[in-house]
Structure 1
Amino acid sequence: MTHAPNLSADRPDNAPDTTPETEPDRGSDRARPSRNQLFKTLWRWHFYAGLLVTPLLVLLAVTGAIYLFKPAYENWVYKDLRTVHATQHAKPVPLAKQVDAVRKAKPEATIQSVTPPSDREHSTMVTLAADGGGPWAPTVSVYVNPYDGKVLGSVDNAKTFMQNVRELHGNLLSGDVGDRLMELTASWAAILTFTGLYLWWRARPRRGRTGRRGLRRWHATIGAAVSVFLLLLIATGLPWTGIWGQQLQKVITATKQGTPSAEDYKVSSKVPTTADHLTSNPDTSVPWAAEKVQVPTSKASGGHEGHEGHAGHMGGQGGNGAAPGSLPIERAVAIAHHERVPGTFTVTLPQGPKGVYTISGKSEADPAQQRTLFVDQYSGKVLASYGWPQYGLLSKLVEEGIALHQGERFGWPNLLVALGTCLAVIGMAISGVVMWWRRRPTGKGLGAPRRAQDARVTRGVALIMLILGVAMPLAGISMLLILTLDWLVVRRIAPLRRFFG
C-alpha cells in the first residue's frame, strides 16, 4: 500500500506539477534539517517500493478478497453434490460400501481419504489421488449419498475456480518462481506500510476534500487506518511462502515450539515421514502446525508386512483395503468420535501395510479445537494424538493467524475486516498511481522524490531497511541488489541519474 501526505500547495488539475508531492511541516524542518532529510529518504524508498510491487500487490488483494468467500461459494456451486435429502428414519449404509461405490465408479484411481458427513444433510466426500491435477491439489473429490450409497458426482479440485484463485494468490500459477515473487511482494508491502505510516505521521493532511489535495488526504488517512490490519494479513500469510515459511518451520523446530520429537512416540517410522506428505489437498490436509509431525507406523501381526501391493486398494478384510487384516474405516471413525475429534474431520487411509489411519480435524473458527490422530490400522491403537495442548507457542500463533487470514476466526466480523483491508489496498494502489500520474514531470524522468543530500541519513535509512530485509530475506536480497545497482550504475551514468532522480 502507499501512504502519501499532502502537498504544500494545489495547482490546477490540468497543470504539470514538478514540485514535491508531500512535505513535512516547514517550520520544524528549518530547525531540524536532518529530520527533513530523513523524510525525503523514506519517501524515496516508499515511492520505489510502490513502483516495484503495486501490480502484484493489487493481484494479491483481489485474489485474497475473492478467496475469503471460498466456503460459501463452493457450498453454493456444489450444493447438489454436498447436500442430501433423507427421511427422518433413513439409516446410512456402511462407509466401506460407500467407498466401494466410488471404487466401482473410478476403478483406475487410488483412494486417498474419506470425509464422513458432519450431519444428516451432507454427503460423504471420498478423495482420490489424481495425476496431473496441479501442484497444490492433485486430487478429485467424489461425493456419495450416505443413505443409498450412490455416487452423486465428482469435482476435479485442480480445476475449480477457487483453486485457480488460490494458486494465483500463492504462486501466480507458476510454481516456485511465482511463490518467490508473491513472497517478495508481501515483504515489500510491509516496507511500504512502515514507510507510509512515517510519512503520514510527519505530514498529516488536515485540509483538502477535493482535487489532488483531497485524493492525497484520502490516500493517507485510509492507508493509516488499515495499516495494522494489512500488517496482520501480511504476517499471517508469510508462513505459507517458500523461503519465509521454511525458515519459520526451522525456528519452530529449533526452539521446540512446534512438532514434538520422534522420541515422544514409542512407535515411529523407521524412515521418517511427515504428515504433510499424506495429501496435497488443502481441504483434507492436516493443520499447519501438524504438517511436520512424524507419522508412526502400524505393527502388523500374522505376516501382513509383505503385502505392499495392497496399498490404497479395496481388497483388505476390513473393507477399506489398506492391507489384509486391517480394521474397517467405520472403526477409525468410531475412534475419532471416541477421542472427541471436533466438527468435520477427514480420515486418510493407510498407505501400505505399515501405514496408519490419519484422522485430521481442522477448525478455522477455533484452532484450539484442532486434532490430529494416528491410529494403528490393525489394532486400532491411537499411536499419537496431536492437538492444541501439544502445539508450541509459535505454532499456536501461526494457527490463530491462519484463521484470521482466511476471515474465519471470528465469523463475519473477521471476514468483513479482511475484505475491507483488501479493498483499501486496491484503493491505495490506484490512488498512488493517479497521484504519480498527475505530478509526473514533462521530461523523461520518473518523477521520483529527490535523493537526500545528507549521506549519514541515507546510510542510516539503508541500515534500517536492511534490518527489515533480514526479517524478510527476499526483500533484503532485493534491497542489496537495488543499492548495488544504484551505487555502481545509476549514480555514474548521467541519463540514468536524471531519470531515476
Structure 2
Amino acid sequence: MYKKSKLNTWLWKWHFIAGLISLPFVLLLSLTGIIYLFKSDYETPRQKHIKEVTVTGTPISLQEQWDIANKNAIKKPNSLVLKTSPDQATEFVSGRFSNKSSIFINPYTGEVSGEIIGKNTTMYSIRKLHGELLMGGFGTKIIELIASWMVVLIATGLYIWWPKRGWKLKGYFIPRNNIDKRTFYRDLHAVSGFWISILLLMILAGGFPWTDVFGQNFKTIQKVTNTGYPSTWQGHQLKSTISEKAFTLDQMVVTAKALELPGVVSLGFPKGPSGVFSVSNFNPSDLTSQQSIYFDQYSGEPILKHTWKDVGILMRGRMWFMAFHQGEFGGWNWWLILITAILLTIMSISALASYILRKRKGSWGVPKVPASFKVGYGVILLIGILSFIFPLFGASILIILTIEYLRKYRFSKIS
C-alpha cells in the first residue's frame, strides 16, 4: 500500500486529537470490562448461601414452592429456572434484563433462602458504569460516541502504522527498546494496537447493539428486512384451550426436563387462564442449540416450537458478537477478551506516556498539517459512510466542521 505523507500527517492529527479526548473513556471501558469478566468469580462465593441448600429428606412440590415465592417475592415471578442438582435452591425469576430479580426457595424446608435483586449487585453497577457511565441514556450516548470514534482510531491507527518503506520486525511487530523511552512507548502503543485491531473491532461490534442510536437503527433494519426473531418467538399470540384442570408446575417441569435442552433452562409461567407455558434455554456457548417451545397449560401438549434456524441472519450475527463481547463461548473466548482488554489498557497508557515525553512546554503537540493539503474524495466518502453507519460520529463531525469554520472565519476577520 502506497502511503501519502500529507494524508498520513492529516490522519495522524485527527488520530491524535480523537485519541487524547477518548483516552479517559477508553481506559474506563477497558478496566470495567476486565472487572466484569470476573462477575461469576466474584458473585459465586457471595451468593452461595442463597443458591445452595442442604439436602434433607424429600422436597416439597414445586407448586407449593411457587405459592411461597408468590407470597414473598418483591414482584410476582414469571418463570422458574430448572435445577441441575439436588443441593440447589429453587430459583423463581421476576422481570427481565435490568429489572430482573430472583427469589430462592429451599425445596426441603419451604423457607426463602434469599433474594437477589439485579440492580442492587456490585457487578450491575460495574456494568452500568461500563455501558452508560452511571448516567442513564445520556451516558449511553457518550459511550456510543466514543465507541464510534474507536472504530476511526483503529482505521487511522493502522494507516499510520503501515510502513512507508519495507517491513521490519522491530517497530512494527515488536517494540524497539534500544533507542529511547519515547520511541519505546510509541512502539508499544502502535504494536499492541496492531495485534488487537481485529479483535477490538469484533468486540465493538458486540457492544454496539446495546447502544441507543445505532442499536435502535439496527433493530429497525432487522424489522424491515425480517431478519430478527420471528414474530411468534415470544409466544404473545399463543393461547391455551381452557379446560377444567390445568397442568401442575411439577408436571410441566417433568416435560421440560424430558427435552434435555443444554444450558440454563427456564420455564415461563402462563399469563392468565388462556396463557401458555414456555420452555427456553440460554446457551451462549452454542447459540445454535437454543430453542423456545410453548405448551398448552391444560393439556401439556406443545403448541409451537422455535429453533435457532428460525432466527434471522442479522439477529444471529448480533447475538454471536454480543456473546463474543462478553466472553461467553468458553475459556478461549474469555481469555481472548481479557488479554485484549489488558492490551487496550497498556496501549492507552503507553500512548499517554509517549505524548508526555514528546510534548513541548506551552504546546499541545498537535501534528501540523501543510496548508496545501486537501482532503480527497475517497476520504470524504469514507467519512460519509461512517457517519451514516454511526450517526453520533456524523453529528460530532458536523460540530467539528462548524467549530473549524468559525475559527477560520474569526481568524480572517482579525487579520
- Aligned letter for 1:343? G
- Structure 1 position 448 matched with structure 2 position 351: no
Aligned to 1:335: 255
In 1, Cα distance between the equivalents of 2:214 and 2:283? Answer: 24
**Deviation at 1:217?**
1.2
**Deviation at 1:455?**
4.3
* Alpha-carbon spacing, 1:494–1:100, altered in 2? closer, same or farther (3 Å): same
Equivalent of residue 82 in structure 1, options 42, 51, 65:
51
| Root mean square deviation, CA, Å | 2.7
Aligned to 2:86: 120
Superimposed CA distance per residue, residues 263-303 of structure 1 (whole angstroms, 9 cap, x where no aligned partner): xxxxxxxxxxxxxxxxxxxxxxxxxxx5xx4522324536x
Aligned to 1:94: 61
Aligned to 1:238: 208
Aligned to 2:190: 220
Aligned to 1:392: 312
* Structure 2 residue matching 1:143: 3-state secondary structure: strand
Aligned to 1:179: 140
In 1, Cα distance between the equivalents of 2:395 and 2:274? Answer: 44
- Aligned letter for 2:119? A
**Deviation at 1:78?**
0.6
Q: How does 1:17-28 map to 2 (within 5 A)?
A: none
**Deviation at 1:250?**
2.2
- Structure 1 position 153 matched with structure 2 position 114: yes
Aligned to 2:236: 295
Superimposed CA distance per residue, residues 215-244 of structure 1 (whole angstroms, 9 cap, x where no aligned partner): 111111111111111111001111122222
- Aligned letter for 1:419? L
Aligned to 2:382: 464
Aligned pairs, number: 404
**Deviation at 1:164?**
0.7
- Aligned letter for 1:225? W
In 2, Cα distance between the equivalents of 1:399 and 1:126? Answer: 25
In 1, Cα distance between the equivalents of 2:62 and 2:177? Answer: 67
Aligned to 1:381: 301
Aligned to 1:259: 229
Aligned to 1:272: none
Equivalent of residue 419 in structure 1, options 328, 333, 338:
338
Given that residues 203 and 325 in structure 2 are in contact (C-alpha distance below 8 angstroms), is that contact kept between their aligned partners in structure 1? yes
Aligned to 2:347: 428
In 1, Cα distance between the equivalents of 2:308 and 2:71? Answer: 39
* Structure 1 residue matching 2:98: 3-state secondary structure: coil
Q: How does 1:315-334 map to 2 (within 5 A)?
A: 326-334=246-254
In 2, Cα distance between the equivalents of 1:490 and 1:202? Answer: 34
In 2, Cα distance between the equivalents of 1:140 and 1:474? Answer: 33
**Deviation at 1:185?**
1.4
* Alpha-carbon spacing, 1:484–1:202, altered in 2? closer, same or farther (3 Å): farther
- Structure 1 position 169 matched with structure 2 position 130: yes
In 1, Cα distance between the equivalents of 2:265 and 2:382? Answer: 46
* Alpha-carbon spacing, 1:294–1:44, altered in 2? closer, same or farther (3 Å): farther
* Structure 2 residue matching 1:111: 3-state secondary structure: coil
In 2, Cα distance between the equivalents of 1:492 and 1:441? Answer: 28
- Aligned letter for 1:423? I
Given that residues 182 and 353 in structure 2 are in contact (C-alpha distance below 8 angstroms), is that contact kept between their aligned partners in structure 1? no
**Deviation at 1:125?**
1.0
- Structure 1 position 105 matched with structure 2 position 72: yes
TM-score (norm 2): 0.88
**Deviation at 1:325?**
5.0
* Structure 1 residue matching 2:78: 3-state secondary structure: strand
**Deviation at 1:451?**
2.7
In 1, Cα distance between the equivalents of 2:58 and 2:309? Answer: 36
TM-score (norm 1): 0.74
* Alpha-carbon spacing, 1:174–1:378, altered in 2? closer, same or farther (3 Å): farther
Given that residues 113 and 127 in structure 1 are in contact (C-alpha distance below 8 angstroms), is that contact kept between their aligned partners in structure 2? yes
In 1, Cα distance between the equivalents of 2:112 and 2:235? Answer: 34
In 2, Cα distance between the equivalents of 1:458 and 1:54? Answer: 28
Given that residues 452 and 458 in structure 1 are in contact (C-alpha distance below 8 angstroms), is that contact kept between their aligned partners in structure 2? no
- Structure 1 position 476 matched with structure 2 position 394: yes
Moved more, 147-156 or 40-49: 147-156
**Deviation at 1:39?**
0.2
- Aligned letter for 2:368? R
* Alpha-carbon spacing, 1:239–1:295, altered in 2? closer, same or farther (3 Å): same
Moved more, 156-165 or 340-349: 340-349
Given that residues 300 and 353 in structure 1 are in contact (C-alpha distance below 8 angstroms), is that contact kept between their aligned partners in structure 2? no
* Structure 1 residue matching 2:85: 3-state secondary structure: coil
Equivalent of residue 58 in structure 1, options 1, 10, 27:
27
**Deviation at 1:437?**
2.1
Equivalent of residue 493 in structure 1, options 393, 410, 414:
410
* Structure 2 residue matching 1:152: 3-state secondary structure: strand
In 1, Cα distance between the equivalents of 2:407 and 2:64? Answer: 70
**Deviation at 1:60?**
1.4
**Deviation at 1:199?**
0.8
* Alpha-carbon spacing, 1:258–1:361, altered in 2? closer, same or farther (3 Å): same
In 2, Cα distance between the equivalents of 1:384 and 1:242? Answer: 32
In 2, Cα distance between the equivalents of 1:214 and 1:245? Answer: 39
Aligned to 1:438: 357
Aligned to 1:15: none
Given that residues 295 and 374 in structure 1 are in contact (C-alpha distance below 8 angstroms), is that contact kept between their aligned partners in structure 2? no
In 2, Cα distance between the equivalents of 1:246 and 1:257? Answer: 14
Moved more, 432-441 or 181-190: 432-441
**Deviation at 1:357?**
2.4
* Alpha-carbon spacing, 1:172–1:382, altered in 2? closer, same or farther (3 Å): farther
Higher helix share: 2
Aligned to 2:8: 39
Given that residues 242 and 274 in structure 2 are in contact (C-alpha distance below 8 angstroms), is that contact kept between their aligned partners in structure 1? no
Unaligned segments of structure 2, at least 5 residues: none
Given that residues 276 and 295 in structure 2 are in contact (C-alpha distance below 8 angstroms), is that contact kept between their aligned partners in structure 1? yes
In 1, Cα distance between the equivalents of 2:372 and 2:85? Answer: 68
Given that residues 275 and 297 in structure 2 are in contact (C-alpha distance below 8 angstroms), is that contact kept between their aligned partners in structure 1? yes
**Deviation at 1:458?**
5.5
Given that residues 115 and 124 in structure 1 are in contact (C-alpha distance below 8 angstroms), is that contact kept between their aligned partners in structure 2? yes
In 1, Cα distance between the equivalents of 2:348 and 2:340? Answer: 12
**Deviation at 1:467?**
1.6
In 2, Cα distance between the equivalents of 1:251 and 1:469? Answer: 17
* Alpha-carbon spacing, 1:435–1:493, altered in 2? closer, same or farther (3 Å): farther
* Structure 2 residue matching 1:456: 3-state secondary structure: coil
